[in-house]
Amino acid sequence: MKLLILGGTRFLGRGVVEEALARGHELTLFTRGQTNPELFPEAEHLRGDRDGDLGALEGRAFDAVVDPSGYVPRLVRASAELLRASGAGRYVFVSSISVYSSPLTAGFDENAPLATMEQPTEEVTGESYGPLKVACEEVVRDVFPGAHANVRAGLIVGPHDPTGRFTYWLERFERGGEVLAPGDPDRTVQFVNVRDLGAWIVRVCEDGVVGDFNAVGPDPPVTMGELLESCRRVAGSDAGPVWVDESFLVEREVGQWMELPLWLAGPEAAMLQADISCAVAAGLRFRPLDETVRDTLEWVRGGGSAVAGLASGLRIGEAGMRPEREAELLEEWRTRG
């Protein structure tokens, strides 16, 4: 199969490329050449820019296109229309679980109401991200009717994660001591290993899978308590979680999702309880939790983490709670009246 990746040298794109090469596909990467340009010398590399410099793609036909780097509908349309005119067979767009409007109900599926944009914009912010992805999905359906898949990815985790959201918990247990754990240990959390998602996207291309999919996991479900215990066990740590009521955290304006990754309070927690049966039926599979934690921890220990240095106060990534903030909250929690 002749496969084009719009990107391919960062995180998910990298995972797709690794799987596609392992499966013997003929691979072309279209990038600006700014991020990890030395990767994948065995693949063809085309240079350009999605915003006004698509010339290298003109007249090139591919069996399938994977787009993990589309955020603005105008730019997605430009690439999709050019590639469709050149004979591309299908288009797999990496969207987001954030396409849904709030409030959500636990167990929501792909037919849940989608987010809308109050004012047109191309600026990607926390508020516009979901609606922009919705608009990108609409473009893909329009240009590739019956030959597209919109992959609504949840939190993607694993080696080369640039966000620090999952790796925060690994590093926190590495550091030891009491670990502030948010809310109920039995609440479900969802995420997907980048290698599992990358492998499935390649199979979506191979099998001609069509439709919209909540691409998150694991299956069977995992609780926050099970996740943190896996982090502790795999790290060989003597650290222990201290479970703090989410009302206490909300009152003290602890940041959900970023300051304490994988924590969403109240109705927002439904975002981590998506129905994934469509993706599972289409072949999405998940490796054991400990394997995901172990592979990611090895990368962290090798110096790859986006939040390395957090313990010393050097904030490299945006995710995670500062040690002094955690200590203050734990002390207040212990001495509350």
Q: Please tell me the predicted confidence (pLDDT) of residue 314.
A: 28
Q: Please tell me the predicted confidence (pLDDT) of residue 33.
A: 95
Residues of the chain falling short of pLDDT 50:
307-317
The gap between the terminal CA atoms of the chain, to the nearest Å, is: 65
Model confidence, pTM: 0.95
Q: Please tell me the predicted confidence (pLDDT) of residue 337.
A: 61
Q: Please tell me the predicted confidence (pLDDT) of residue 303.
A: 86
Q: Please tell me the predicted confidence (pLDDT) of residue 313.
A: 34
Helical H segments across 66-128, by residue range? 73-85
Q: 122 CB contacts (<8 Å, ≥6 apart)?
A: 72, 74, 132
Q: Are residues 219 and 154 in contact, defined by beta-carbon separation less than 8 angstroms?
A: no
pLDDT in tens, 12-51: 999 999 999 999 999 999 999 999 999 999 999 999 999 9
Return the biggest CA–CA distance within the chain. Answer: 71
